[in-house]
Amino acid sequence: MAIQNMIQLSDGFVFDYSTMLGDGRLSVEDINGLKCATNKAAEAIDVIRATGHAKNHLSKDGEPEPVFFMRLPYVKQDFPNNPRSMQKLHALAEHVREEVDAVIFLGIGGSYLGNKVLFDIFCGETWNCLSNEERKKRPYIFFAGNNLDPMQSLNLRSLIRNIGKTGEKKGDKFKVMIVPISKSGTTLETLTAFSYYYDKCISSDYIETEVAVVTGLDEATDSPLFRLAKEHGWRYFDVKDGIGGRFSVLHDVGLVTAAAIGLDIEAILDGAKAMDMACRSHDVWENPALLNATLKFLAADKCNCDIEVLMGYGMCLKSVSEWYVQLLAESLGKRYDRNGNTVFYGRTPIPAVGTTDMHAQTQQHQDGRRNKVVQFLYVESFSKDIVLGNPFPHIPEFSKYYGLSMQKALKAAMNANREALDGDKRFSAMYSLPLLDEFHVGQLLYFLMLSVAYEGELANVDAYDQPGVEAYKRIMKRELGR
């Protein structure tokens, strides 16, 4: 392996970029040669932190729009996360714990992907099959509205109906909370899912339905979800101006899921804050997010790496990759730079999960075009491990795995994948977390958001808009005739 080059934070987060450097890849001189640009990028991010002003950034209506995601780690009066919003989230957590049997979150894109990350990491895919006791009395959790697929809606409705009839209840009726999440309040997938599930739930004789909406509450947004919430007296949570969908997981959008599943919300934000503080230096070697951005920017610029694979080791990390797809694609996939030059910037994000995709994608990573950075994500210690027994002692192929820790095997698989890529001078890097707790998850998500923000500055593109999605939206409106 290449010489170890890494940044390790005192709380255990590691960014190991050894395998981005060396023969056929990048050099220290390449990075130092960009000093002027990295300094400028650091200055621009400082301005956004201090003022919320990102150069030339306009909303989709062409109006100046602030960028406030860098305020999310801090709970302050007049900040998007403030004492009042925290109080509302804690009240939601308590209410769900005491009163609610199941929560259906409805949303798409930035109003879904981060919520799914939190659910997958802290609950896991078998959550709805666990007993009340195993779920520590926390509710069943469902996600919908992330597609227009009628089969998905019908199947999920059947599942909810079955659980509602047979699962454990807190009272006479099965209490379902429906949570539509939409900043605009007008997204087709979310509104159709809301109409469908609301209709089915309120007309059911064994379900008691309540609704909490998460939407833009300001006058300009004029969200129909907020209008409904006022009309019906539902709970509502605010998606503040300046918090775009893909940067909203640490705001009410994602934190409602954190509250419903009983996470320590303050610890998530503390992790983000620790990362924000660790990424203040203008010296690229001392700032992990700036260095991450610089390495990816240079790999694209000098070595045509226009694909980034995010490969988390462990099934529960799969949705981190899916969340990152949106973050990278919408933020950096830009036709024009801020001066109006055509640049066609960005990398195609590929979600992957180890070890599963070592049996599917790795062939392409190892032998395909030299246009990829494989970004590994690893957790040093899962809360639980399995050490294998041996029910077949007479079969040598089984005996050799006797006593093997699966966590150790997972690490060996990732190291082997890194070493093999390195042996062919392929680009990779690794983020590693000591634990998968709230603090480190907040830290990781914020690190990725900030890295993308720095890269936007290096590439001189607006990382906060997504004009490219308007083209299909116009056509679709015409197709639907509404």
- Residues near ligand PA5 (CB under 6 A): 108-111, 182-184, 187, 190, 244-246, 326, 330, 466
Q: What are phi and psi of 104, to 5 degrees?
A: -110, 110
Can you name the residues that pair with 105 across neighbouring β-strands? 143, 179
Contact predicate 481/285, CB 8 Å: no
Catalytic (active site) residue 330: yes
Residue 148 tokens, joined: 């227009």
Q: Which of 63, 98, 231, 359 is catalytic?
A: 359
State which residue, 81 or 466, has the beta carbon closest to ligand PA5. Answer: 466
Annotated active-site residue 359? The verdict is yes
Q: Which is nearer to ligand PA5, 130 or 188 (CB)?
A: 188
Q: Residue 15 in contact with residue 284, Cβ under 8 Å?
A: no
Closer CB to ligand PA5, 109 or 139, in the complex: 109
Smallest distance, Å, CB 29 to ligand PA5? 37
The residue sitting closest to ligand PA5, measured at its beta carbon, is 245
- Cβ 232 to ligand PA5 shortest distance, Å: 20
Cα–Cα nearest to 94, from 235, 239, 281: 235
Which tokens belong to 178? 């429906």
Task: Say how far apart CA 289 and CA 45 lie, in whole Å.
Answer: 11
In terms of CB distance, is 283 or 470 closer to ligand PA5? 470
Residue 214 or 430: the one with the smaller Cβ distance to ligand PA5 is 214
CB of 184 to ligand PA5, least distance (A): 3
Strand order in the sheet with 207-215: 140-144, 102-106, 174-182, 207-215, 235-238
Q: 128: which DSSP letter? A: G
Task: Say whether 473 is catalytic.
Answer: yes
Strand partners, 214: 181, 237
Min CB(442)–ligand PA5 separation in Å: 19
d(CA 132, CA 129): 9
Out of 308, 330, 438, 455, the active site residue is: 330
- State the minimum distance, in angstroms, from the CB of residue 146 to ligand PA5: 10
3-state secondary structure of 238: strand
Which residues are known catalytic residues?
A: 330, 359, 473
